[in-house]
Structure 1
């Protein structure tokens, strides 16, 4: 018979967290899983046994919650184990999403206990069946492949780590151990309620699928471990790629376009996730790859979840919050102009492009939707202004004719449309665009600072 204690001692966590010099918070619900975990930890060899702090949350969701708390208080007192208990009052229970809210409350409490005792980690009693259930739930719901390996041996948490020493053990192992060692535990009657998705997976879907493969739980857990290994390798390589593509604000478009399409998608997932944009859908990811690869329309802004934008310039792409002003103005070199935002000019003053002018000198130009977004950049050789009647004039000639001092010409900015046409030689002259069908008035504003 497999001894769960030996399996836990050989886990990848042993050398780091199981030591008499460490303090470990143990999350205990009084269910069979957590009672086995607590017993195993108490029976580690003395030199490998950390100082244990028991943490329990009374969720007040069941009639037996009070009895469970009382039992655990007695258990810990008899064994001289420090115990911390939190009360999740009924008045704090939300009308919807109670499971997620309960989890947030628990983990916030665990972090508080960790800080109080300066503990290195929190240990939970997640086991192999939990891992298999999580994998199957993710497969059914769909989503990002990273989520298939959501339950790992350890992950960063609060000031230390959250560890799961029992992941190599299945539910049968734990029940057998509990019976052999005559442990006392409480059964949660809500686990039989098939309303929660996880309970349906646990009591209906996994048993049905296990008819096809009696070792399905072990197989799914193994799949999750392999996925984690491959994801670890992929993230390592993507981190190296990120270092080669990175620019001051984002990443190089020229280097990005040299990658294969599959690598572009993988890199974009990595780039966005590392910077806090984690909910992008695969369909939108394909659109981003297509848009970033299109060199016929250099400036473009892609709307992302949570008010993020991926801005595509001429040479680089970068993230910014929608509506966020480019605080450094033209020191950014090139940026997409947000309507209604003011931007400082290195030569002095500020400008804005808006549909509702407020103050400052105002000139109106008529633009169509396909001319957006607008981009601000330095003057380039070959820039020309469209004049009334369809002729053009070189921007550098305009600067000379307008007697702009030579030392100021180096800092001169232009606003160009999505087609690359100069709309405004900022502070000097505006291009002429006929009032075509569908064109709307846009105000070009300038003020002194």
Structure 2
């Protein structure tokens, strides 16, 4: 058993984020994990204790949500801790995919709080059991090996980082600490519902497998850390390789063909993922490698998910949207926005997102690198637009206020960033993003056809 206090103080995150000169947003649900995290952060040595901002989302998914919010308000008031609370109204809950939608809402709110307080990071209470559950879920479902190392100590987020200070601690360590220090927390009754896959992994599969190896949670967490290290090294090398293969539009076929077949597959995964094509299957990847390597066949296009296609020319291969000409395109459904490319709208006109403003510019927004890639999709229930001052307005309300005819609202599209935040209600209104460190200007353009 580990001492959570000592483990926190020795965390690899400490040298960068645990300082009295820093501001840290702490995501608190009132569950035992987040209450332990909040208590540990408050008890760091004075010189290593950052300014803490508590962030809480009332999802209105359970009857006890109101009591949890009231408890946390009182807790923070007694300890003079700034508290920010967001309400995810029942009317904004989607009929399907509620867990994913809740996560998008939550992390969009955390990013907003970070910007408001100029915080360096958001801290979440993910721990070793969460990491082990994630690894086992990915193994059961299958997929890409990169997903096995999904939970890391830190990753870029909004204008700073998302950090997980409890990853070296397991659930038993946290519960023991909470009881020893007489902390108050709330149990989420839905955690015992075996309908969600994660709950079955947590309460059924992991305990059964732990009979074979009592240290399974630690072993899976160690495996994930090793995978992260290897993936980090691989991405460094692939980034260097990408720089040598890169052409004006894509990559050199001659240089690509000189690589070993395994390196070709690795590079192609890297190239496609970096450009927003992340759902390709291994079978199709093998077909692409074979097709690109065949010098006897003429130029051709390979269809990819989300209306992308990989074009094989005589000297280079490059990505473009299926059915697009060089200057304008026509797209339906959801797709990744290519900077500088024009897209036709079903309701009429066309739009483009570019770093080079032109005569059709609507306005300029300031976006950070981690907000890319941008995605264009139809308006969804619950979409909200960030306003100046940090408040939000529902997109549906914007359309009504702007007197957009009801028959046109069905075809209305939004541009959203990688965090799920609405950047532009195309042709109607632009979100407000403060000019943050590292942000770059992006022009939103529109023209009539």
Q: Indicate the TM-score class for this superposition, using the shorter chain for normalisation.
A: 0.7 to 0.9
Instruction: Work out whether residues 300 and 336 of structure 1, in 8 Å CA contact, stay in contact via their aligned partners in 2.
Output: no
Query: In the superposition, relative to structure 1, how do residues 253 and 59 fare at CA in structure 2: closer, same or farther (>3 Å)?
Result: same
Query: In the superposition, relative to structure 1, how do residues 103 and 77 fare at CA in structure 2: closer, same or farther (>3 Å)?
Result: same
Rounded Cα–Cα distance in structure 1 between residues aligned with 2:355 and 2:310:
23
Instruction: Work out whether residues 302 and 310 of structure 1, in 8 Å CA contact, stay in contact via their aligned partners in 2.
Output: yes
Rounded Cα–Cα distance in structure 1 between residues aligned with 2:421 and 2:320:
24
Q: Greater Rg, structure 1 or structure 2?
A: 1
Greater relative CO (CA pairs within 8 A, separation 6+) = 2
Query: In the superposition, relative to structure 1, how do residues 78 and 307 fare at CA in structure 2: closer, same or farther (>3 Å)?
Result: same
Query: In the superposition, relative to structure 1, how do residues 215 and 440 fare at CA in structure 2: closer, same or farther (>3 Å)?
Result: closer
Q: Counterparts in 2 of 1:115-264, with a 5 A limit? A: 115-264=115-264
Rounded Cα–Cα distance in structure 2 between residues aligned with 1:56 and 1:433:
22
Q: Deviations over 1:374-413 (max 9, x none)?
A: 9999999999999999999999999999999999999999
Query: In the superposition, relative to structure 1, how do residues 251 and 70 fare at CA in structure 2: closer, same or farther (>3 Å)?
Result: same
Instruction: Work out whether residues 36 and 177 of structure 1, in 8 Å CA contact, stay in contact via their aligned partners in 2.
Output: yes
Instruction: Work out whether residues 299 and 418 of structure 1, in 8 Å CA contact, stay in contact via their aligned partners in 2.
Output: no
Unaligned runs of 5+ residues in structure 2 are none
When the two structures are superposed, what TM-score results if normalisation uses the length of structure 2?
Answer: 0.73
Instruction: Work out whether residues 306 and 334 of structure 2, in 8 Å CA contact, stay in contact via their aligned partners in 1.
Output: no
Query: In the superposition, relative to structure 1, how do residues 374 and 200 fare at CA in structure 2: closer, same or farther (>3 Å)?
Result: closer
Shift of 1:368: 48
Query: In the superposition, relative to structure 1, how do residues 330 and 398 fare at CA in structure 2: closer, same or farther (>3 Å)?
Result: farther
Query: In the superposition, relative to structure 1, how do residues 393 and 38 fare at CA in structure 2: closer, same or farther (>3 Å)?
Result: closer
Mean Cα deviation higher: 408-417 or 80-89: 408-417
Instruction: Work out whether residues 349 and 447 of structure 1, in 8 Å CA contact, stay in contact via their aligned partners in 2.
Output: yes
Q: Deviations over 1:215-259 (max 9, x none)?
A: 000000000000000000101111111111111111111111111
Rounded Cα–Cα distance in structure 2 between residues aligned with 1:156 and 1:438:
12
Rounded Cα–Cα distance in structure 1 between residues aligned with 2:166 and 2:323:
47
Mean Cα deviation higher: 38-47 or 237-246: 237-246
Query: In the superposition, relative to structure 1, how do residues 417 and 257 fare at CA in structure 2: closer, same or farther (>3 Å)?
Result: farther
Query: In the superposition, relative to structure 1, how do residues 89 and 257 fare at CA in structure 2: closer, same or farther (>3 Å)?
Result: same
Q: Deviations over 1:254-308 (max 9, x none)?
A: 1111111111000000011111111111011000001001111130101111111
Rounded Cα–Cα distance in structure 1 between residues aligned with 2:108 and 2:416:
50
Instruction: Work out whether residues 35 and 185 of structure 1, in 8 Å CA contact, stay in contact via their aligned partners in 2.
Output: yes
Query: In the superposition, relative to structure 1, how do residues 373 and 284 fare at CA in structure 2: closer, same or farther (>3 Å)?
Result: farther
Shift of 1:2: 2.4
Unaligned runs of 5+ residues in structure 1 are none
RMSD, matched Cα: 19.4
Instruction: Work out whether residues 298 and 418 of structure 1, in 8 Å CA contact, stay in contact via their aligned partners in 2.
Output: no
* Secondary structure, aligned partner of 1:298: coil
Mean Cα deviation higher: 384-393 or 351-360: 384-393
Rounded Cα–Cα distance in structure 2 between residues aligned with 1:342 and 1:46:
54
Shift of 1:92: 1.2
Instruction: Work out whether residues 245 and 256 of structure 1, in 8 Å CA contact, stay in contact via their aligned partners in 2.
Output: yes
Mean Cα deviation higher: 35-44 or 239-248: 239-248
Q: Deviations over 1:195-225 (max 9, x none)?
A: 0000000000000000000000000000000
Query: In the superposition, relative to structure 1, how do residues 325 and 417 fare at CA in structure 2: closer, same or farther (>3 Å)?
Result: farther
Instruction: Work out whether residues 313 and 335 of structure 1, in 8 Å CA contact, stay in contact via their aligned partners in 2.
Output: no
Mean Cα deviation higher: 393-402 or 167-176: 393-402
Instruction: Work out whether residues 250 and 316 of structure 2, in 8 Å CA contact, stay in contact via their aligned partners in 1.
Output: yes
